[in-house]
């Protein structure tokens, strides 16, 4: 597929380094997936510019980390309000670069504010372990220094705010690099940050994968907060060893959903559907494999098909659209190939929505039956609109299949006997074990994976603590 370009419409956002808007000698094209055309050119940050950004963040750290928490908190709250007030500008940028419908882009910005406020509500007081006439012992949370944040392309604003807010709230400074596929709205977040924070506290740079690698090996960065794929996460872990950087790795998932025999197919169909197909299936903690008790398997399949037929796919700028295009050409081809491969290996097409002609990267909603764990559509993380549905005969079999994955981000169990469903969910090998919902997140609820889905958590007090180190203050009260 060829990429077209209308030079007069192409925008050129800038990076934010030390509070200044900065371009660079060369640029990267950003593609609008609904048009498969370049709509923006962003700076390709040089190594020297990255050094500048890290030096600015190091310099700013001295005074920012010493700024009282209350002051930092009020600046972070002001920033969240500034981002919300910018929704009319930010939302179309998200839709252009990511593909999601405009209404969903607005929801993403609202969610970013909602989760951001959750972080600012967390109490960061020291934990006093002993306070006697003889001794005072307390655990204090200290900022780490410069945080390097690297994000993926599925929720550009949400993922960026999930890193900026906890990093600077706890007294760190940050250098943030969005995905080269979706850098535009994040660069705008950098510009907005320069209106609120002192220079150097929030720096946003754009570039390709090499820029991410330079960050992870840079001795001026004390922590990498990463959201992206498993293979990149492993490379980052190796590269970050040089100066023992702290890491949070929010990686991929291949979440299972288990529908028990007592579930009500008509009642749960919409939630099952959106558990998988929200954001065109490009959600780390989406329901990516579905196991249904054989007694209700036909009914669940029927209800999913009925629901899928009501969903509209199209350009995110068009009213009434539920699902936009897939974000990039690589995923577009990967999903198509995995579906074709599964069909050639014996999978059956339960439902496929009508094709939408190009040039946009539109993929149909695809429901498959007769799939097995040897097929890529089940074994690999399908970051796109395809779902394999498998029957099971007993719960032990369902749990064995659900846990047969290198990943462990989330998992769900669906049934009317909630106590029983919760007991089954507790046996899932995943960071999130959900009942009658998928996924389930909240600002005060830690979110993260086990096994190949990552290290550490985001959100809630535990998520905030990931941006700090422990200092134990132990005072003997007799001199």
Note the residues at the interface with ligand NAD (CB under 6 A): 150-154, 177, 179-180, 209, 212-213, 216, 227-229, 232, 235-236, 250-253, 284, 381, 383, 409, 454
List the 135-143 sheet strands across, edge first.
127-131, 135-143, 468-476
Nearer to ligand NAD, 75 or 184 (CB): 184
Report in angstroms how near the CB of residue 449 gets to ligand NAD at its nearest.
6
Report in angstroms how near the CB of residue 235 gets to ligand NAD at its nearest.
4
457: left (phi over 0), alpha (psi -120 to 50) or beta: beta
Residue with the closest Cβ to ligand NAD?
Answer: 212
H or E segment to which residue 65 belongs: helix 47-66
Of the listed 38, 280, 284, 301, which one is catalytic? Answer: 284
Q: Are the CB atoms for 166 and 462 separated by under 8 Å?
A: no
Report in angstroms how near the CB of residue 466 gets to ligand NAD at its nearest.
13
Q: Mapping DSSP to helix (H, G, I), strand (E, B) and coil, where does residue 32 land?
A: strand
Report in angstroms how near the CB of residue 139 gets to ligand NAD at its nearest.
27
Of the listed 97, 108, 250, 395, which one is catalytic? Answer: 250
Nearer to ligand NAD, 99 or 415 (CB): 99
Closest CA to 391 of 417, 420, 357, 368: 368
Q: Measure the CA–CA gap between 22 and 30, rounded to whole angstroms.
A: 18
Nearer to ligand NAD, 171 or 446 (CB): 446
User: HEC profile for 397-428?
Assistant: HHHHHHCCCCCCCEEEEECCCHHHHHHHHCCC
Q: Are the CB atoms for 146 and 220 separated by under 8 Å?
A: yes
Report in angstroms how near the CB of residue 454 gets to ligand NAD at its nearest.
6
CA 28 vs CA 43, 88, 90, 332, 427: distances in Å: 6, 25, 20, 20, 46
Closest CA to 142 of 473, 474, 469: 469
At residue 161's C-alpha, the angle toward residues 157 and 166, to 5°, is 170
Report in angstroms how near the CB of residue 210 gets to ligand NAD at its nearest.
8
Q: Mapping DSSP to helix (H, G, I), strand (E, B) and coil, where does residue 433 land?
A: strand
ω into 439 cis (within 30 of 0): yes
Nearer to ligand NAD, 209 or 317 (CB): 209
284 carries an active-site annotation: yes
Nearer to ligand NAD, 325 or 391 (CB): 325
Q: Are the CB atoms for 282 and 324 separated by under 8 Å?
A: no
**Number of Cβ within a 10 Å radius of residue 379:** 18
Report in angstroms how near the CB of residue 354 gets to ligand NAD at its nearest.
27
397 carries an active-site annotation: no
Q: What is the set of active-site residues?
A: 250, 284
């Amino acid at each position: 597929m060829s990429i077209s370009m209308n030079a007069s419409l192409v925008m050129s956002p800038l990076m934010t380094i030390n509070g200044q808007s900065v371009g660079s000698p060369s640029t990267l094209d950003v593609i609008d997936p609904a048009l498969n055309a370049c709509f923006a050119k962003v700076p390709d940050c040089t190594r020297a510019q990255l050094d500048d950004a890290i030096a600015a963040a190091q310099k700013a750290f001295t005074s920012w980390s010493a700024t009282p928490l209350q002051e930092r908190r009020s600046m972070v709250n002001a920033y969240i309000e500034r981002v919300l007030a910018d929704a009319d500008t930010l939302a179309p940028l998200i839709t252009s670069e990511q593909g999601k419908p405009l209404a969903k882009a607005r929801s993403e910005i609202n969610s970013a504010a909602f989760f951001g406020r959750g972080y600012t509500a967390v109490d960061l007081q020291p934990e006093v372990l002993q306070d006697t006439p003889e001794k005072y012992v307390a655990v204090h949370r200290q900022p780490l220094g410069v945080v390097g944040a690297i994000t993926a392309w599925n929720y550009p604003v949400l993922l960026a705010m999930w890193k900026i807010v906890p990093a600077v709230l706890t007294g760190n400074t940050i250098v943030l690099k969005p995905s080269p596929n979706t850098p535009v709205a994040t660069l705008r977040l950098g510009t907005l940050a320069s209106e609120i924070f002192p220079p150097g506290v929030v720096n946003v740079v754009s570039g390709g994968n090499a820029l991410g690698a330079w960050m992870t090996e840079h001795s001026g960065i004390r922590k990498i907060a990463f959201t992206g794929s498993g293979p990149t996460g492993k490379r980052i872990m190796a590269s970050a060893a040089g100066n023992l950087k702290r890491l949070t790795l929010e990686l991929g998932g291949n979440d299972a959903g288990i529908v028990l025999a007592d579930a009500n197919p008509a009642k749960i169909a919409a939630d099952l559907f959106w558990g998988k197909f929200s954001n065109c299936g490009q959600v780390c903690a989406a329901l990516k494999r579905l196991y249904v008790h054989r007694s209700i398997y036909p009914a669940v399949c029927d209800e999913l098909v009925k629901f899928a037929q009501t969903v509209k796919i199209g350009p995110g700028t068009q009213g009434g659209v539920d699902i936009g295009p897939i974000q990039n050409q690589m995923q577009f081809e990967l999903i198509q190939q995995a579906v074709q491969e599964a069909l050639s290996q014996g999978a059956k097409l339960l439902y496929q929505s009508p094709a939408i002609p190009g040039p946009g990267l539109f993929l149909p909603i695809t429901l498959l039956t007769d799939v097995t764990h040897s097929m890529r559509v089940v074994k690999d993380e399908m970051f796109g609109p395809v779902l394999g549905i498998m029957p099971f005969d007993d719960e032990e079999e369902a749990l064995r299949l659900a846990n047969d994955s290198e990943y462990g981000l989330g998992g769900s169990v669906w049934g009317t006997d909630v106590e029983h469903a919760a007991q089954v969910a507790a046996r899932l090998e995943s960071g999130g074990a959900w009942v009658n919902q998928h996924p389930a997140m909240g600002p005060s609820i830690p979110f993260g994976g086990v096994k190949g889905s990552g290290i550490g958590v985001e959100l809630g007090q535990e998520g905030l603590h990931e941006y700090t180190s422990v200092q134990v203050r132990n005072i003997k009260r007799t001199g």
